[in-house]
Structure 1
Amino acid sequence: HVTRVAAMWLRPAVLLGVLGTRGIVRTMCAQKEDWKKAASIYEFSAIDIDGNDVSLEKYRGYVCIIVNVLTAMHTQYAEQGLRILAFPCNQFGSQEPGTEAEIKEFAKGYNAEFDLFSKIDVNNDTAHPLWKWMKEQPKGKGFMGNYIKWNFTKFLIDKNGQVVKRYGPKDEPFSIKKDLPQYL
């Protein structure tokens, strides 16, 4: 049964999500604090929805949107080099309480073709190091602080693994689509 909140999860929105698993943050960095020394997203890894450790190095040379969800944009731009990395997060009103298996099954129902990662935290001490890093980048800083205020905050990543823009939860997919061509 698909709830309105769950349906929002797969609406055309781009959001870069934090990487982690139930209390255990995983990254290629040797220590949790090493995220500050990272030069690009390629120095991080995340656990995918099937429990596999995935190096973000595999996205080198691609423009990426790191997000909670996004389907339509991936379909439109995948052949031009766009990759969408979806990271579910349950820190906002418990909107994503499901298990990894439930999330994966739900996404299949929407024919989601983007890369789906394990549920993570994006704020506080439990935030995945990638999210901490993205929020600290010059073009990743938020309006009125770096805290991710709600689901659907989005980060656009260029082919060099750098944050080139942060979009708020209320930014429509159109605003992202108009920025994409200069990076593809």
Structure 2
Amino acid sequence: MTQTIYDFDYTNNKGETISFSTYKGKVLLIVNTASKCGFTPQYDGLEALHKTHQHDGLEVIGFPCDQFGHQEPGNDDDIASFCEMRFNLSFPLSTKIEVNGQNEAPVYTWLKQEAPGLLGSKGIKWNFTKFLVDQNGNAIKRYAPTTKPKDIEADILKLLGK
């Protein structure tokens, strides 16, 4: 049987286990984030996408990660406070995770397999790599950290039927 994202769960930054199946029928944008990265201002664009399209069925989920240049050094409370104060984030964040290696989050193992990067690469290269998942739980596309959230909007609108 083919896996979908609905076969996985994650722990939110409040310590609660969330099944991805709670997002059935929604388009997901999954992003590994960091608070002290050159791409951190993308939080503004991610929040804009979330606020603009949430009522149409988009959910953005941030996965803080400290694997790239130690750019997410804080604990889950520090990260949440930073995101709320600096970016007024309203989309969910997970606990801090790893996206590569022996301790990578299982959902990232699946995402990387389903939507490989440039030339078929599997590993996440840096913070703010983004994955678009359709309403049926299939990983559709991977976007580089340099891809601005607004440049993903057309793909999101297509999935939302807009």
Structure 2 length normalisation: TM-score? 0.86
CA distance in 2, matches of 1:118, 1:82: 21
Q: Is the contact between residue 49 and residue 150 of structure 2 (CA under 8 Å) also seen in structure 1?
A: no
Paired-residue identity, %: 40
Separation of aligned partners in 2, 1:97 and 1:72:
25
Partner Cα distance (1:65, 1:169) in 2: 13
Paired letter, 1:118 = T
For 2:16, which of 52, 62, 65 is the aligned residue?
Answer: 52
Equivalent pairs, count: 146
Q: Distance in 2 between matches of 1:123 and 1:84?
A: 21
1:98 aligns to 2:62 (yes or no): no
Q: Who is 1:43 aligned against?
A: 7
Runs of 4+ in 1 over 6 A off after TM superposition: none
- Following the alignment from structure 1 to structure 2, what is the Cα–Cα distance between the partners of residues 60 and 44? 12
Secondary structure of the 2:118 match is coil
Distance 2:70 2:28 in 1: 26
Please provide the CA RMSD for this pair: 1.3
> Could you say what secondary structure the match of 1:171 adopts?
coil
* Equivalent-residue separation in structure 2 for 1:59 and 1:176 (angstroms): 20
Q: CA deviation at 1:38?
A: 5.8
The gaps in structure 1 that reach 5 residues or longer are: 1-36
Residue 138 of structure 2 corresponds to 162
Bigger proportion of residues as helix: 2
Cα distance in 2 between the residues matched to 1:92 and 1:100: 17
Cα deviation, residue 85, structure 1: 0.9
Partner Cα separation in structure 2 for residue 143 and residue 158 of structure 1: 20
* TM-score with structure 1 setting the length: 0.76
SS in 2 for 1:116: coil
What SS does the aligned partner of 1:115 have? coil
Counterpart-to-counterpart distance in 1, 2:2 and 2:80: 30
Partner of residue 127, structure 1: 104
Aligned to 2:89: 112
